[in-house]
Amino acid sequence: MKRILKILLWVIIIGIFIYTLYFLYQKSQTKPLVFKTESAFVTDIVKKTVATGKIVPRKEIEIKSQVSGIIDKLFVEPGDKVEKGDLIARVKIIPDMVNLNNAESRVKRAELNLEQARVTYDRQKELLKKKVVAEADFLPVEMTYKNALEELDAAQNNLQLIKEGVTSKMGQVSNTLVRSTISGMILDVPVEEGNSVIESNTFNPGTTISTVADMGEMIFKGKVDESEVGKIHVGMPLILTVGAIEDVKFNAELEYISPKGMEENGAIQFEIKADVKLKEDYFIRAGYSANADIVLEKRDSVLAINESLLQFENDSPYIEIQTDTQIFEKRPIKLGLSDGIKVEVLSGVSKDDLIKGGKE
């Protein structure tokens, strides 16, 4: 019994050894290489460069106050549409105490002068009626009286301007009423009622009360690297992809290329602007980020192959055409436009040819 078990054990060991040798032999055998094949196809090829930027209104105006004071009333909020001349805000003037005191003093002096001139005028007028004085002597007195009337009126108007920023003679014309200078949409109102504002003058840009823009005319503002700026020109078509609006492309036309570059992160960038062709079904908000594909060259319905199929010998391109099962021969080809993935084939291949590709 023990002898049978020993024989059986040796048989098993020998079998495992033989199987191991066979397995290692099979693993050492090289498998034949099998290559995939592809064919040429008809497609459109577009060579383009990409510019990043944003979409902004062509006309965007900051509305500022013409007087210093406090915002008494706001009549608009962001998103409202306004016409040219529409009221945006009313400013309450806080008069300077020195100017106010001088204006009040001027009014009092004008009243005193007028009272004195009136007394003299009335007396001389009575004497003129009695023909005691000549008309030539009366005329200077009359002129003095009229000047005193005008001085009082001017002093009162000046006082009212300092206090209220408007006079009764102005009617609706007032620099305390801030109005829109263009028709468009209110983009921003950076102040609130009660905020102090500074007038716009030679030495100060003034406080911005609101920003108004014409949202019916938008432009793309972006930047192009110096390596690409020499390939573009005014009038070229652009295809815009807006990050906030998926699966929608907008057409644009390049209308400006900056003559001066600016350094950003070690690279020279040139600003470009393009007129955006808006679509009625989509509302473009100011400041949307966008990418612009600038079409450098385009070929419609041309025969092309994938660039991965190309091989080079002495800088001359060629492909390998299948002549029999897994048998290939070299064939030189002439190439046209490439977009980096597909390349136009001018000669050397047809749609029926099977081209050697990668390994299976």
315 or 86: which carries more pLDDT confidence? 86
Least confident of 129-143, 166-180, 290-304, 334-348: 166-180
Q: Scan for tokens 């025969």, then name that residue.
A: 303
Gap between the Cα atoms of 209 and 77, Å rounded: 11
pLDDT averaged over every residue in the chain: 83
Percent of the chain with pLDDT over 70: 90
76 or 228: which carries more pLDDT confidence? 76
| CATH code at 35-49+300-359 | 2.40.420.20
- Identify the pLDDT of residue 28: 64
165 or 327: which carries more pLDDT confidence? 327
- Buried residues in 310-329 as b, exposed as e (16+ CB within 10 A): beeeeeebebbbeeeeeebe
Q: Domain 97-164, CATH 1.10.287.470 — does that match?
A: yes
**What are the tens digits of pLDDT across the range 230-271?**
888 898 888 899 988 888 999 999 999 999 999 988 889 999
175 or 177: which carries more pLDDT confidence? 177
346 or 4: which carries more pLDDT confidence? 346
**What are the tens digits of pLDDT across the range 207-237?**
899 999 999 899 999 998 888 888 888 988 8
Overall fold of domain 60-93+170-213: OB fold (Dihydrolipoamide Acetyltransferase, E2P) (2.40.50)
**Architecture of the domain spanning 50-57+215-296:** Beta Barrel (2.40)
Q: Residue 274: beta bridge partners?
A: 220, 254
- Identify the pLDDT of residue 162: 64
Is the pLDDT reported for residue 303 higher than 70? yes
Q: Model confidence at 173, in pLDDT bands (50, 70, 90)? A: very low
- Identify the pLDDT of residue 187: 93
pTM (predicted TM-score): 0.61
Cβ–Cβ under 8 Å, residues 174 and 93: no
**What are the tens digits of pLDDT across the range 304-342?**
888 888 888 888 888 888 887 777 788 888 888 888 888
How many beta carbons lie within 10 A of that of residue 4, not counting itself? 8
Domain spans in the chain, listed from the N-terminal domain onward: 35-49+300-359, 50-57+215-296, 60-93+170-213, 97-164
